[in-house]
Chains A and B, each alone.
Chain A
Amino acid sequence: MPLLESKNEANLKLFFNTRQKIILAMALIWGALAMIFLAIKPQVVYLFELNDNLEAERQTLAALKRKVQELDQIEFSQQFERKEKVDEVLPSNKPLLELLFNLNQAMIQTKASVTELKISPGKIGEETDKPTKSPAKEEEAGVRSFSSLSMDLTIKGEADRVDEFIELIEKIAPFTSIVELKLNSRSDPDSDKKTATAELVLNTYYYTGSISTSIEAQLPSVGDEELRVFDTIQKFRPSEFEPPTEIKESDVEDFFGIEGFEFNLD
């Protein structure tokens, strides 16, 4: 055995025998460093991610619990209990029969008579408010969620009665607005009474929107103005219209069968 090799081996053995503690200390230091970079650091990063997730989930849970509370409150909300009035004022179907029925009621109340009525309802009886369940999204700008049914109407009667009818027609359900009006009044030579003829174009509105929502989406709140609107429509003339649920007879000339009106199909 060469002398140099045996000397190195002897030195190494001597080092291991006399410096065991520093070797152990170095091993511990390397072990600690390895633990810091290989175990603790990734753990800390993962813990931060977990904490962020926890915070997000906490917020989601809080929002969902709030929504459950709101849903519970809605059931007992005074406004929501009377939501039928809102459906009556802005129905989700083309409100042809309701409009005709309520027009007749207004005629009876004001004693004005309708001499001519023109309407082109198109397709009727389509329900529009079917909910869709998808992620909430902003309503596209410019998309209207209501439509209107136009009706030409000529009414005659005493001037006061005609005025009363014109005033009443905007306070009936469904929501109706006069968009055109021609008024002719003249004094009746046989009596002191003033008679009037009014040609009206009415727009009656109905709801055509659809709603998209998600589980997390918060419920919208009712603002002060909407509450005042709600109170105002409570004063609208109540409709006694009962929608027909069965075909009473077939082979009829008048498809609408609304009391006070007779229809001829052109």
Chain B
Amino acid sequence: MKDINFLSQQNRELSGQQKKDAQILKYATIGFAAVAVVFIILFGTRFYFQYKLKNLQTQISTVSQQIDSSQELEANYLFFIDKLKIIKQLFDQRSNKQIALSYFSSLFGPEITISGLTYNMEEGILSLRVLSPHVFYLEEAFDVLDDSNVTKHFVTLNKTNLSRTGTGEYAFSLTVTFKEDSDLITEEKEY
């Protein structure tokens, strides 16, 4: 009598399916293991970063305390620098007056004298009172002041209040404001 296996076709199909299942399980296991490894690595990195951050914060705290203990030194230094900057600023403001005085003294020559000045340091406006012994020197002074080589240094250069004094001298007021980019200022500093 011949045996007839009615399930052989079904068993073959099932066996093929189980082989595929085993392969899928293999890949799934590998994938899961990889994801788990990545997770463990990330978790480890997190702890490492947290440890480093804490370490850094401790160092920052120590160094901050060190700086805090030098607070007085730091304050003194900051005042020192700030004062130096202000002194430089004062020098710059004052130098315009000194530069203008020596410039006009040499420009006018020995006969003409500068007998007074008023200087607004903040605005940089300088008024000079100029005395000339007679009218010829006065004319020479006016000619010199109108020269473009002189006027190029100033934003304003005004001659006002011309008068004759009791002693026969001629006096006038000269008000000037330097140009910021004037060669005279940039070349002749007090420091």
Contact = CB atoms under 8 A, between A and B. Distances in A.
B87 A211 contact: no
Contact of B82 (A28, A60, A145): A145
B83 A90 contact: yes
A39 B36 CA distance: 10
Contacts of B85: 226
Interface residues of A, number: 75
A58 B114 CA distance: 63
Interface in A1-33: 18-19, 21-22, 24-26, 28-29, 31-32
Task: Say what secondary structure dominates the interface of chain A.
Answer: helix
A205 interface: yes
B82 A177 contact: no
B120 to A, nearest CB: 8
A71 B75 contact: no
Interface stretch (A99-107, A181-189, A253-261): A181-189
A140 interface: no
B22 to A, nearest CB: 5
B31 interface: yes
B168 to A, nearest CB: 14
Instruction: Identify which of B29, B53, B66, B74 gathers the most chain A CB atoms within 10 Å of its CB.
Output: B74
Contacts of A36: 35
A71 B21 contact: no
**List of 7 A-B pairs having minimum Cβ-Cβ separation, nearest first:** A131-B75, A25-B28, A21-B21, A232-B191, A25-B25, A22-B21, A28-B28
Interface of B: 14, 17-18, 21-22, 24-25, 27-29, 31-32, 35-36, 38-39, 42-43, 45-46, 49-50, 52-53, 56-57, 59-60, 63-64, 66-68, 70-88, 90-91, 93-94, 97-98, 113-121, 129, 190-191
13 contacts: A24-B25, A35-B32, A57-B57, A58-B56, A61-B56, A90-B90, A178-B97, A182-B115, A182-B129, A184-B115, A211-B78, A213-B75, A229-B84
